[in-house]
Chains A and B, each alone.
Chain A
Amino acid sequence: MRIMIRNIGAWFDRRLQLAAPVREMAEHRVPRNTASWWYVFGSAALTVFMLQIVTGILLALVYVPSGAEAWSSLQALNYDVTLGWFIRAMHGWGSNFMVAIVLIHMVQVFLFGAHKFPRELTWIIGVFLLLMTLGMAFSGQVLRFDQDAYWGLGIGASIASRVPILGPAIVKLMLGGPIIAGATLSRFFALHVFVIPGLLIGCVCLHLLMVLKLGINEWPMPGRIVKRTTYANEYHQLTQKDGAPFVPYAIWKDMFFAAFIILAVAACALYFGPFGPTGRPDPTIIQTVPKPDYFFLWLYALLSLLPPSLETPVLLIGPVVAIGVLLLLPFLSGEGEKSWKRRPIAVLTVLLIAITLGTFTHLAGFTPWSPHMNAWSSDPVPDRYIHDSTALERQGALVFQVKQCRNCHSLGESGGQRGPALDSVAVRLTQDQLIRQVIQGGGNMPAYGKNLSPAETTALVAFLETLHPKGQAPARDASRDMALNDENQPGAKP
């Protein structure tokens, strides 16, 4: 039996002649200290990518890329097709994991100085792999053709339209027509299923080929300086003196981590289930609060917080600069120290970017810049604010609620956060200032002068004046009493 298998193997290898190069590849010598848990993220990213291909093909067996039917076919996957929900959940969570692992891989590679000579091109292709991964994530979100996908496309089109001169043409090219509709979904399907995966597979092969040809980046030692003239020789000596064959010396950690990641994706899929789809993509249903997927939340926050005048330049120039810096990085610092211990600016840059993205993502979790559309009808004024109040003040509390003030201003920690919380507004603003602010608006507040009768304004301000902590007096204009009482003073009448 064994002889027969060996003979069959030999028959194939006589024709394919792959055994020798594969063995050589598997047993190529790597520096001993690269057999580290820090070196597992690249293979983990590849593992998740293969998982995405498998689950993606399975989903394509049922999914219909038609604007009229995509949403229903996802419902069928979720509820009718056996284990359809699980495959969808694996694909969705796989996507999140892939973005996260690719980012971690990138940070690790950067901190270990692996972008330096002679691995510049490996890094550059890696940058393209990151962009394609993000492209897959966005186009995948579009294929989940629900309300978030629909309005997310609208946001994408609005951003694209701001490109000078070419903007409107880019929008039509992106949407495949004048509006977001069936043609839009079809072209994002082609991108997500054919174009980007094809490019991804090609680039992954090149990326891996270069890792094999140039050797895995050695563990960075402080003081071991990279020089173009001597590096190749030094690396060769290192792998000979202190090296070991990749299989089995280093690969077992990759294998363990790959299995762990697949199990982690499956556990998330099992526990949290698939993503959406949310509401049907019907543009006439406008009661919706669209939100991007996790990895684009930082962008959502940035778009809300940028000053209007800076928005278009930042949106159009920012990505060009960011990608340009990433691509030029290996040429700007192709030699020198590799160790993060001797590269404080590199470490601080990574930390700064991570904290910035983390903060934006955190903010996008509760969107303090958006009005809470239902706050005025669902968050009642807390009892303690109308206890012992006069009829006028109560009327003011009603005006406050009915005129949707709560959509932007919180009271008792519920309501919108677009404007300041009003729990102690009377301490900050005098009666006159309150009236002026309500009628004329200002800062970020619309003017309500046209939509409030004088009686409503009086009641509203009377209520707002009661909003101050116990024992803390409301703000008052010290000169006002004097001005009102001193009738002799010219022009002092109220």
Chain B
Amino acid sequence: MATKPAPAPPTDATTDAAISRRGFFMKLGILFNGLAAGVLAVPIVGFLLSSITRSRANGYLSWVRLGKVSEFPEGETRLATFQNPYVMPTDGKTADTACWVRRVAGEQFQVFAVNCAHLGCPVRWFPQSGLFMCPCHGGAYYQDGARASGPPERGLFEYPYKIENGLITIEAGQLPTPGAAIAELTGEKPSCAS
């Protein structure tokens, strides 16, 4: 901390000269490191945010086959499973997803996410009372997915579906959450007023 007493009151020119060489290189060093940090930051941030940016570029959603239309009896609601279209080698069983398929009549279907519209717990179908019930916080839904009671603010999430050559396929690939329901992800309106 001991500083040398200046021999003479320094003029502006001498102070500039005193720090110019060391000070300049010091500042240059900081600048150079800043540049290196900036160069490094680009791939780091790009890597960290890849799970967000990827969904903008390619999207996570694809059409997934659920099975033959004939596997789903008319007027009934059945559990179906599919493998998520975007799979990583370490996913194991978690790459599988379940959904509730309700065949209203003929080729008219409703495919619900199992995730409760409240906080995502798996809802169960009770055919006798015609209700979906959630085990977590007490949400309940009618057979058409409309909210019946409990904390959910909306009906069950629905996957868009299409039927081709007697096969039912749905557009899926992303966890439906209250902030981004499936219909919003695909830009479609919900097929039923729920």
Contacts and interface: CB of A to CB of B under 8 A. Distances in A.
A206 to B, nearest CB: 24
Contacts of A447: 148
B121 A290 contact: yes
Interface in A273-311: 280-284, 286-290, 300, 303-304, 306, 308-309, 311
Contacts of B120: 151, 154-155, 157-158
B88 A182 contact: yes
Contact of A283 (B87, B96, B136): B96
A-side interface size class: 35 or more
Interface in B115-158: 115, 118-124, 126, 128-131, 133-138, 140, 142-143, 148-153
Contacts of B98: 283-284, 286
Interface residues of B, number: 58
Given A177-B88, A181-B95, A446 B178 contact: no
B145 to A, nearest CB: 13
Interface stretch (A99-107, A326-334, A401-409): A401-409
Interface in A87-101: none
A167 interface: yes
B173 interface: yes
Nearest to A447: B148
Contacts of A340: none
Contacts of B93: 68, 280-284
Given A151-B120, A158-B120, A172-B52, A179 B135 contact: no
A155 B79 CA distance: 21
Nearest to A185: B90
A245 interface: no
Interface in A157-180: 157-163, 167-169, 171-173, 175-180
B161 interface: no
A281 B95 CA distance: 10
A284 B52 contact: no
A388 to B, nearest CB: 27
A182 B91 contact: yes
Contacts of B94: 67, 150, 179-182, 281-283
A358 B122 CA distance: 28
B70 interface: no
B106 interface: no
A306 B152 CA distance: 11
B86 interface: yes
B180 interface: yes
B153 to A, nearest CB: 5
A445 interface: yes
A444 interface: yes
Interface string B172-186: 011101111000000
A61 B143 CA distance: 49
A181 B91 contact: yes
A66 interface: yes
B191 interface: no
Interface string A426-452: 000000000000000100111110110
Contacts of A182: 88-92, 94
Contacts of A306: 151
Interface in A361-384: 369-371, 373, 376
A444 B129 contact: no
Contacts of B134: 370-371
A287 B121 CA distance: 11
A303 B124 contact: no
A162 B179 contact: yes
B115 A154 contact: yes
Given A154-B121, A155-B136, A283-B98, A163 B92 contact: no
Nearest to B137: A304
Contacts of B148: 441, 446-447
B110 to A, nearest CB: 15
A471 B60 CA distance: 65
A158 B178 contact: yes
Nearest to A182: B90
A444 B177 contact: no
A151 B122 CA distance: 8
B88 A450 contact: no
A345 to B, nearest CB: 33
Contacts of B52: 169, 172-173
B96 A404 contact: no
Given A158-B118, A303-B137, A176 B175 contact: no
A162 to B, nearest CB: 5
A444 B149 contact: yes
A183 B95 CA distance: 11
Interface of A: 66-69, 150-151, 154-155, 157-163, 167-169, 171-173, 175-183, 185-186, 280-284, 286-290, 300, 303-304, 306, 308-309, 311, 369-371, 373, 376, 402-405, 407, 418, 441, 444-448, 450-451
10 contacts: A151-B120, A151-B136, A158-B120, A181-B84, A182-B91, A183-B90, A281-B93, A283-B122, A371-B135, A405-B129
The 9 A-B residue pairs whose C-beta atoms are closest, nearest first, are A161-B179, A68-B92, A182-B90, A167-B179, A446-B148, A154-B120, A161-B177, A178-B60, A286-B122
Given A154-B175, A178-B174, A287-B124, 12 more contacts: A68-B89, A158-B118, A158-B120, A178-B60, A182-B92, A183-B51, A286-B123, A300-B136, A304-B137, A403-B128, A407-B133, A451-B131
